[in-house]
A = this chain, B = another copy of it.
Amino acid sequence: MAGPAAVSPLALALPALPPLAGVKLGVAAAGVRYQGRSDLLFAEFAPATTVAGVFTRNRCPGAPVEWCRKRLPAGRARGLVVNAGNANVFTGRAGSDAARMTAEAAAKLIGCPARQVFLASTGVIGEILPVARLTAALPAIHADLGADRLADAARAIMTTDTFPKAATRTARIGGEEVRITGIAKGSGMIAPDMATMLCFIFTDAKIPAPALQKCLTRGIGGSFNAITVDSDTSTSDTVLLFATGQARHQPVPATGGAILRAFSTALAAVLHDLALQVVRDGEGAQKLIRIDVTGAVSARSAKRIARAIADSPLVKTAIAGEDANWGRIVMAVGKAGEPADRDRLAIAIGGVWMARDGAVVPGYDESPVIAHMRGREIAITVDLGLGRGKATMWTCDLTHGYIDINGSYRS
């Protein structure tokens, strides 16, 4: 690994994370790859906990992703084991054996079937996971599980992250308050397609798995599927949502419905908060960039254009250099391959319209834009002038820090 990177200038402080009924956690330093820090998370959930999940669309997923996908339809979870430092991806039979052995060891301690233990791994691809170190560490963690370890859990799943990420909200279901708390890790290989890096959400609500899945899927679009750091889609992206059912609200039907409106909104807020924290910790990030595209022919088209801008190395390096180079935004709009008419296109940075109707705005004064570019949060707006399609994406700038981190990740 490269030397420890400085904490991102965009970092947020961890919020207070109250315990969640039905969730007990513990961490350990299993020495999978890192020395002198925790790298293993073990969580046990109350009986009857339901689970929902979304995973990477990468065609070469890791063994833990395959394990979870296969177990998700049953909708039941009693445990979660996550390790950092080794992704257990492209490890063949040894990889699926390692996943199974980890689940079995955890299940034995909990007293449940292995199929109710969910798994995630993050780190280097293609190296055999030293599974014995994981299974050897689990009994001691299990003997000391506690409800107050959410911050420790957020730290244990970090890889190149420079700060731990968590978010929490409350919502009411039929008048009764429930809590939703999530943790996540980034921070490179981030261009989620249906899911993202690792994110685990816990709630004490009692929600049937199909309704839970519906809420989760709905929340992903505006959060983890609306961010990109480097256009690279991980093989391990996993979001899992566990509902322990300890809250005493009225029953929720399997199809969900209006009773979950507030829950669904709060969950979306937790997901959105975590997704933006991932971008804030994008490798080498110095600036958080919000890209709003309006006036496209459809929402799908708007999203593709927003993604083309967000993934453009030339746009991202210009922003790193605090250069309001809107010509590169024009280029990125044009390269998206979506309907665009140069002569109707308008571009604003920091709320200042600089280009409109196919040319620079007459009398355009760059000075407020220059001031905006010097800040930590950059806002780009593109209006296509063609229709009502709109989308928002978040990304970060592309800096020397990204090259430093990724030119020496394995060494």
Tell me the residues in window 303-336 of chain A with beta carbons closer than 8 Å to chain B beta carbons: 311-314, 317-318, 320-321, 323, 325-328, 330-336
Whether, in the assembled complex, A70 has its beta carbon less than 8 Å from a beta carbon of chain B, the answer is no
Encode A78-116 as 1/0 by CB contact (under 8 A) with B: 000000000101111111000000000000000000000
Interface pairs (16), CB distance under 8 Å: A57-B337, A90-B342, A90-B358, A90-B359, A92-B358, A94-B359, A125-B328, A125-B331, A232-B313, A232-B328, A232-B331, A313-B402, A321-B407, A321-B408, A399-B403, A400-B400
- CB–CB A188/B234 < 8 A: no
Query: What is the distance, in angstroms, from A269's C-beta to the closest C-beta of chain B?
Result: 28
- CB–CB B91/A233 < 8 A: no
B residues in contact with A358, CB < 8 Å:
90, 92
- CB–CB A355/B126 < 8 A: yes
B residues in contact with A337, CB < 8 Å:
57, 59
Whether, in the assembled complex, A281 has its beta carbon less than 8 Å from a beta carbon of chain B, the answer is no
Task: Give the 7 A-B residue pairs with the shortest CB-CB distance, closest first.
Answer: A125-B327, A92-B359, A321-B407, A60-B334, A317-B406, A58-B334, A233-B335
A357 touching B92 in the complex, CB below 8 Å, given contacts A230-B313, A232-B313 = yes
A359 touching B321 in the complex, CB below 8 Å, given contacts A90-B342, A232-B313, A403-B403 = no
Whether, in the assembled complex, A178 has its beta carbon less than 8 Å from a beta carbon of chain B, the answer is no
Q: Can you name the residue of chain B whose Cβ is closest to the Cβ of A359?
A: B92
- CB–CB B92/A330 < 8 A: no
A340 touching B126 in the complex, CB below 8 Å, given contacts A90-B358, A406-B314, A406-B317 = no
Query: What is the distance, in angstroms, from A159's C-beta to the closest C-beta of chain B?
Result: 13
- CB–CB A232/B408 < 8 A: no
A59 touching B233 in the complex, CB below 8 Å, given contacts A359-B91, A406-B321 = no
Whether, in the assembled complex, A360 has its beta carbon less than 8 Å from a beta carbon of chain B, the answer is yes
A341 to B60, CA, bound (A): 7
Interface centre among A91, A320, A327, A340 (most CB of B within 10 A): A327
- CB–CB A189/B331 < 8 A: yes
- CB–CB B233/A331 < 8 A: yes
- CB–CB A317/B125 < 8 A: no
Whether, in the assembled complex, A231 has its beta carbon less than 8 Å from a beta carbon of chain B, the answer is yes
Q: Can you name the residue of chain B whose Cβ is closest to the Cβ of A331?
A: B235
- CB–CB A312/B403 < 8 A: no
Known: A90-B358, A95-B359. 14 other contacts (CB 8 A): A60-B342, A90-B345, A92-B357, A126-B326, A126-B327, A127-B327, A193-B335, A230-B314, A231-B311, A313-B402, A313-B406, A317-B402, A323-B410, A400-B400
Q: List residues of A whose CB falls within 8 A of some B CB.
A: 57-61, 87, 89-95, 124-128, 188-189, 191, 193, 230-235, 311-314, 317-318, 320-321, 323, 325-328, 330-343, 345, 355, 357-360, 398-400, 402-403, 406-411
- CB–CB B189/A314 < 8 A: yes
- CB–CB B320/A407 < 8 A: yes
Interface centre among A87, A94, A409 (most CB of B within 10 A): A409
Q: Can you name the residue of chain B whose Cβ is closest to the Cβ of A342?
A: B60
- CB–CB B332/A232 < 8 A: yes
B residues in contact with A59, CB < 8 Å:
333-342
Q: State which of B60, B92, B317 has its C-beta within 8 Å of the C-beta of A403.
A: B317
Query: What is the distance, in angstroms, from A92's C-beta to the closest C-beta of chain B?
Result: 3
